Amino acid sequence: MNKKIIMQLDELTCPSCLTKIEGAVKNTKGVGAVKVLFNAGKVKAEFDDSQVSADDLSQVVTKLGYEVQGVKVKDL
């Protein structure tokens, strides 16, 4: 885990969305800790960029039906 991604989503309204997103991102290979901020509508995840890219992760969330409005990647 050498990078951290922060994705800004549209507003989240159902607590089950949260579980859904968290589960899907966590089950992606190369991803460590995942935190979904329900009220801020953000997904924060640590990942290893040799196994998975930031684009892949944003795809995972998009596929669940949530629009990713912005992505920030930081070195850990």
Partner 1 sequence: MKFQKWLQDHSQHITWLSAALIVLGYAGKFTHVGWLYAWVLAIASLIAVVPIAVHAFQALKVKVVSIELLVTIAVIGAFVIGEYNESAIVTFLFLFGNFLEQKTLSKTRESIRSLTDMAPTTAQVLQADGTTEDTDVDDVEVGDVVVVKTGAAIPVDGVVVAGSGYADEAAVTGESRAVRKTDGEQVFSGTILSDGALNVRATKVGDDTTFAKIVELVEDAQDTKSHAEKFIDRFAQYYTPAVLLIALLVGLISQDFKLAITVLVLGCPGALVIGAPVSNVAGIGNGAKRGILVKGGEAMDQFAKIDTFVFDKTGTLTKGETAVSDVVVFTGSKDDLLAQTAALESLSDHPLGRAVIEAATRRKLNLNLELTDHQTIRGQGVTAKVAGVDVCAGNEKLLAAHHVALTPEQQAAVSKLQQTGSSLIIVAVAGQVAGLIGVSDIVRPEAKAALAALKKAGAKHLVMLTGDNQTTADYVARTLGVDEVHAELMPDQKVEFVKQFQAAGQRVAFVGDGINDSPSLATADIGIAMGSGTDVAIETSDVVLMQSSFKALVHAYRLAKKTVLNTRENVTIAILVVAFLLLGLVAGFIYMASGMFVHEASILVVIFNAMRLINFGGRAEKLD
**Applying CB under 8 A, which of residues 1, 30, 32, 42 lies at the interface with partner 1?**
42
Residues from 1 through 40 that contact partner 1 (CB under 8 A): 11, 13-16, 19-20, 23-24, 27, 35, 37-40
- The smaller minimum CB distance to partner 1, of residues 55 and 67, is found at 67
- Residue-by-residue DSSP string for 1-66: --EEEEEEESPP--HHHHHHHHHHHHTSTTEEEEEEETTTTEEEEEE-TTT--HHHHHHHHHHTT-
Q: Which residues contact partner 1 by CB under 8 A?
A: 11, 13-16, 19-20, 23-24, 27, 35, 37-40, 42, 62-65, 67, 72, 74
